[in-house]
Chains A and B, each alone.
Chain A
Amino acid sequence: MSPRARWTLAKVAVVAALLAIWELATRAFHVSPLLFPPASTVLRAFARSVENGQVPGYAAQSLQVLLAGMGIAAVLTLALTGVAVTTRTGSAVLETLTSMFNPLPAIALMPLSLLWFGLGTGSLIFVVVHSVLWPMSLNTYTGFVTVAPTLRKVGQNLGLRGWHFVAGILLPAAFPHILTGVKIGWAFAWRTVIAAEMVFGVAGSQGGLGWFIYQNRFEMNTELVFAGLVTVIVIGLLVENLLFRWLERATVVRWGMSAPQR
């Protein structure tokens, strides 16, 4: 068996062990299913709500907000870092803004977001943009300024200027950092969107997974609360282990710009 397959198997074994402990413990200690339903009940509830389209619908809503937020943040990142690498003022602006806003939790902006954008998707997207813009900008900027001087000279030697230089040399050369920024951004965005939906959900926007979880707690459908959490975890795992792994292997690993991974 290849080391990679063994590693994957080990991870699966950890999940299986956790599920088994969960199942046995809840049954052995007769825990109230209203507080902590057994794993089997949760998985059945999860399967049911996937089947009846409830979970996919809510998940799609959350992902839609998340992708819109990340898309806007990506454009802003490109603009901000583009100005920052080409002008001194720009880099001062970027550094000041990121040090001010990066530590500010997205949730803390929610009252303002509600005030400015009202109840609805706009407010959610705003807080998602805030949560991913700063880490993505920081990483992209680091990527740009650490491009090897020789590569810059090669680009200049070819007569590349302005946008052609950015697209032809800087972006691909900084790609390992940019990818890290996107991965961090994704994790932040995912947390933010779930948390924000819980607040907005009550206020009556069309619901995402956060709202699904919140609503089911309200109705004491504890197994569905767990099913919602399972969905959040499963989507996180899929994106991290399939999408990002694939992206890394198709780019930075293939180009020899990162250490090969398990």
Chain B
Amino acid sequence: MAADLLRVVDVALAYERHEGSFTAVDGVSLVVREGERFVLFGPSGCGKSTLLQAMAGFLRPSRGSIELDGKPVLAPGPDRVVVFQEFDQLLPWRTVLGNVAYPLRVARGMAAAQAKAEALRYVELVGLAGFAQAHPHQLSGGMKQRVAIARALALSPRILLMDEPFASLDAITRRKLQDDLLAVLRAARTTLLFVTHSVEEAVLLGDRILVLTSTPGKVRGMVDNPAAGSRHTASAVQVQRAVDELLAG
């Protein structure tokens, strides 16, 4: 059994709104193991993105604790790189190559030439070698997300946190990126925590799927997914049904 990498214990997340304090997540506990692909699945408003923000260190839990490698998560850091849903997560003033190389210089302390060579490797890995010198505004949404994935992987984080990165893409592009992500992850062996509200995506990507219910977000249950990596197979459909039934209660 692989070692525990990320441990979330009885976490509650609340933020202030005009009407008062709003509890997005209440009493969630989970453990992500080293090397696995873990999916947080739930309907809109179940606090799964909020939970990811807390794991990334952008939010402090109002109760409970989050630990990475046994150390409490107190602030954002490059050991937990986030791929956001928004297309504007790339630095518009840097080229594709620059967007991947710059983080290596500032967060990993690489020399410029080394960072560039390393960045090029990852830009090639996501299939954008021909666009290395392009600026983000010249790319499609799918290509921007590929760059964001390359940037995240290049940093070789302890865990890759993906917050519905394909939700704003058209269905065809989304499928392609899902398949390519699987291939890239197989090569990079990075631990993944992936947030989604699509049951097909959850079953395609997750070795284990944690199902959350909404307002406030609570754990409904965990589904082990032997069908990970496959679409439309009998076992994938079976797991999808299991997830749906768990959600419906």
Candidates A153, A251, A256; contact of B58 at CB < 8 Å: A153
Contacts of B78 in A (CB 8 A): 157-159
Q: A150-B88, A151-B91, A156-B58 are in contact. Are A168 and B106 (CB under 8 A)?
A: yes
B72 within 8 A of A: no
Q: Which A-B residue pairs are the 6 nearest by beta carbons?
A: A256-B137, A156-B76, A150-B86, A172-B93, A255-B92, A255-B93
Contacts of B103 in A (CB 8 A): 158
Smallest beta-carbon distance A157→chain B, Å: 5
Interface size of B by CB at 8 A reads 25
Contacts of B137 in A (CB 8 A): 255-257
A154 within 8 A of B: yes
Interface size of A by CB at 8 A reads 21
Binary contact readout B122-136 vs A (1 if CB under 8 angstroms, 0 otherwise) = 000000000000011
Max count, chain A CB within 10 A of own CB: residue among B58, B76, B81, B92: B92
Within the assembled complex, what's the spacing in Å between the Cα atoms of A154 and B91?
9
B56 within 8 A of A: yes
Across the interface, do B93 and A159 meet the contact criterion of CB distance under 8 Å?
A: no
A262 within 8 A of B: no
Binary contact readout B76-115 vs A (1 if CB under 8 angstroms, 0 otherwise) = 1110111010101101110000000011001100000000
B138 within 8 A of A: yes
Contacts of A169 in B (CB 8 A): 91
A237 within 8 A of B: no
Across the interface, do A255 and B135 meet the contact criterion of CB distance under 8 Å?
A: yes
Q: A151-B89, A153-B82 are in contact. Are A158 and B56 (CB under 8 A)?
A: no
A175 within 8 A of B: yes
Candidates A151, A159, A168; contact of B76 at CB < 8 Å: A159
Q: A164-B106, A256-B135 are in contact. Are A157 and B92 (CB under 8 A)?
A: no
Q: A157-B78, A158-B103, A159-B78 are in contact. Are A257 and B92 (CB under 8 A)?
A: yes
